[in-house]
Amino acid sequence: MRRIDEDILEVRRLILKMGAMIEERLEMALGALVEKDERKAQMVIESDDKIDQLELEIDRISRNMIVLKQPAAKDLRFVFTAIKITTDLERIGDLLVNIGERVLEIVNEPPLKPYVDLPRMAEQVRKMIRRSLDAFFEGDAVLAQSVIADDQFVDDLNIQVFRELLTYMMEDPKNIRKALALSSIAKSLERVGDHTTNIAEMIVFMVQGKDIRHAPHEKGE
Amino acid sequence: MMNGRVSIRVEGLNFFYGKKQALFGVSMEIYRNQITALIGPSGCGKSTFLKVLNRMHELVPGARAEGRVMIEGADIYNNGVDVAQLRKNVGMVFQKANPFPKSIYDNVAFGPKLHGVRGARDLDAIVEDSLRRAGLFDEVKDRLREPALGLSGGQQQRLCIARALAVGPKILLLDEPASALDPIATAKLEELIQDLKSSYTIVIVTHNMQQAARCSDSTAFFYIGRLIEYDKTEAIFVTPAKKETEDYITGKFG
């Protein structure tokens, strides 16, 4: 084993750990909303610190790798990708905090309506995160591409949720506060999807050396 | 992929040391005013390739080249090519600085004298100009008559570059020019090479991949006598196309 491989394995392990924590917190955040569980929302907010610490640790190892091991080619693309996707994962963590905070605002009141689309959105982005981490682990560019394609569904759901909430707000101004909180949650989930798409794009770069960001995506497979 | 004005065009080059073949069908174009790095493990043929570019290998008994090497449009293996003239055009600097046991001045003036420059003023001008181009003049101007062997290793290597430049070459071949230098002298030499590229075509053989990455525009990777991959340096070091290249630059060889 080359000396750089130890660092690569460690960074890989920490990113997967970060991803697993994100997934878990995403489920917890939506659980808090649907089950009206204040404690869960609180846990989502408090556990963000662990994500931040992982970011710092991954950055530290990556930084050292660049100067001490001078990675090239595949190794360079790995470390560059690791640094970039860690930033996106950390941002996803922050968005989950936002969701937790919005949940706390409305958790003790009767729901505006049964939640259908928000859990669906959350499940979709959770799957996207999972698949992008699998793609990262396996070095699977095709899987990463499929994550990018799936983001459209999240965007569509966000618009759908917003339209629906708009009708509730027009019906009765008393609904506005709750509707805005829910719309903010939808927007956060949509942003999680965007960050996950960034991650998937970086994985394609890592595997194929092809930078597909800011280029029209090939939709569908 | 790469473009520029071609300075050196090599076509189907095979090379033999006696019966042992050292290069296999190498074809590549090297561009003017660019720094081209040749990398690869020991014995891959990169130094041999460099020597073929000014027929330096002819000093080795039994060495033989097949194929075409065009420099600035002319085949250097044609009958009637004046080797002295060729080497005036294609200068070479070696791994170990090898100044003549003469004064600094005489080292630089040696080539021009050999090629018929006689006037003291002309020689003075050439010596100063060459030393300036090699970034050495200010350091040695007060001791031009002192022995070149009294200079530091880095200065000696730059003196060898000045000596090569004194005969007005178009192409400069550098065979691991920094391998015996400390990091500061290496940095100076790399800076010098950058300064020189606007006037010359530079080909550098190096074992130090970081050096190739730092100072070249294009990089060619050689492996067991074959040119495996040749591309912009950025592409070779970030997104190499061939597995052999990838393995070599990520240290998976040997």
**pLDDT tens digits, residue range B163-178?**
999 999 999 999 999 9
CB contact under 8 A, A77 and B237: no
Q: Chain B residue with minimal CA distance to A207?
A: B239
Average pLDDT over residues A21-28: 97
Q: Which of B209, B213, B246 comes nearest A74 by C-beta?
A: B246
Looking at beta carbons, which pairs linking B82-85 to residues 24 or more positions away fall under 8 Å?
B83/B55, B83/B58, B84/B115
Which pLDDT score, from 0 to 100, does residue A221 have? 38
DSSP string, A27-54: HHHHHHHHTT-HHHHHHHHHTHHHHHHH
Least confident of A12-26, A106-120, A128-142, A190-204: A106-120
> Cα-Cα-Cα-Cα dihedral of B149, B154, B155, B161, to 10°?
100
What is the spatial distance between Cα B157 and Cα A137, in angstroms, rounded to a whole number?
48
Chain B CB within 8 Å of residue A71 CB = yes
Taking chain B, what is the end-to-end CA distance rounded to the nearest angstrom?
Answer: 30
Q: Which residues of A touch B251 (CB under 8 A)?
A: 2, 4
Which pLDDT score, from 0 to 100, does residue A36 have? 95
To the nearest whole angstrom, how far is the Cα of B209 from the nearest Cα of chain A? 10
| CATH 3.40.1190.10 describes domain B6-249 | no
For residue A216 the two structure tokens come to: 């029209």
Chain B CB within 8 Å of residue A77 CB = yes
CB contact under 8 A, A76 and B210: no
Which pLDDT score, from 0 to 100, does residue A72 have? 94
Cα B158 to Cα A103, B139, B184, B186: the distances in Å are: 70, 11, 13, 10
Report whether B102 contacts B127 (CB < 8 A): no
What is the spatial distance between Cα A204 and Cα A211, in angstroms, rounded to a whole number?
7
What is the spatial distance between Cα B55 and Cα A23, in angstroms, rounded to a whole number?
65
Which pLDDT score, from 0 to 100, does residue B67 have? 96
Q: Which of A2, A72, A209 comes nearest B249 by C-beta?
A: A72
pLDDT at residue A219 tops 80 = no
Chain B CB within 8 Å of residue A1 CB = no
Question: Choosing among A74, A80, A210, which should be mutated to test the B contact, i.e. which has the most B CBs within 10 A?
Answer: A74
Taking chain A, what is the end-to-end CA distance rounded to the nearest angstrom?
Answer: 37
Average pLDDT over residues A19-47: 97
What are the beta bridge partners of residue B175? B205
Residue B143 DSSP one-character state: G
Query: How confident is the prediction for chain A on average, in pLDDT?
Result: 95
Q: Which residues of B touch A77 (CB under 8 A)?
A: 238-239
pLDDT in tens, A112-142: 989 999 999 999 999 999 999 999 999 999 9
Q: Which of B239, B245, B250 comes nearest A75 by C-beta?
A: B250
For residue A150 the two structure tokens come to: 């799936």
Inter-chain CB pairs, A–B, below 8 Å = 31
Q: Chain B residue with minimal CA distance to A67?
A: B210
Which pLDDT score, from 0 to 100, does residue B1 have? 59
Which pLDDT score, from 0 to 100, does residue B126 have? 97
Q: Which residues of A touch B213 (CB under 8 A)?
A: 72
Q: Which residues of A touch B245 (CB under 8 A)?
A: 73
pLDDT at residue B140 tops 50 = yes
What is the pairing mode between strands B63-71 and B218-223?
unpaired
Domains of chain A, CATH where assigned: 3-208 (1.20.58.220)
What is the spatial distance between Cα B224 and Cα A163, in angstroms, rounded to a whole number?
66
| Chain B residues with at least one Cβ partner in A under 8 Å | 209-210, 213, 237-240, 245-246, 249-252
| Residues of chain B above pLDDT 70, percent | 99
CB contact under 8 A, A73 and B246: yes
pLDDT in tens, B197-222: 999 999 999 999 999 999 999 999 99
Question: Mutual orientation of helices A3-34 and A117-138 as an angle, nearest 10°?
Answer: 170
Q: Chain A residue with minimal CA distance to B240?
A: A73
Q: Other C-beta atoms within 10 Å of B79: how many?
A: 5
Query: How confident is the prediction for chain B on average, in pLDDT?
Result: 94
Which pLDDT score, from 0 to 100, does residue B3 have? 76
Which pLDDT score, from 0 to 100, does residue A217 have? 56
pLDDT in tens, A59-89: 999 999 999 999 999 999 999 999 999 999 9
Report whether A218 contacts A163 (CB < 8 A): no
pLDDT at residue A25 tops 60 = yes
Phi, psi of A54 (to 5 degrees): -65, -40
Chain B CB within 8 Å of residue A209 CB = yes
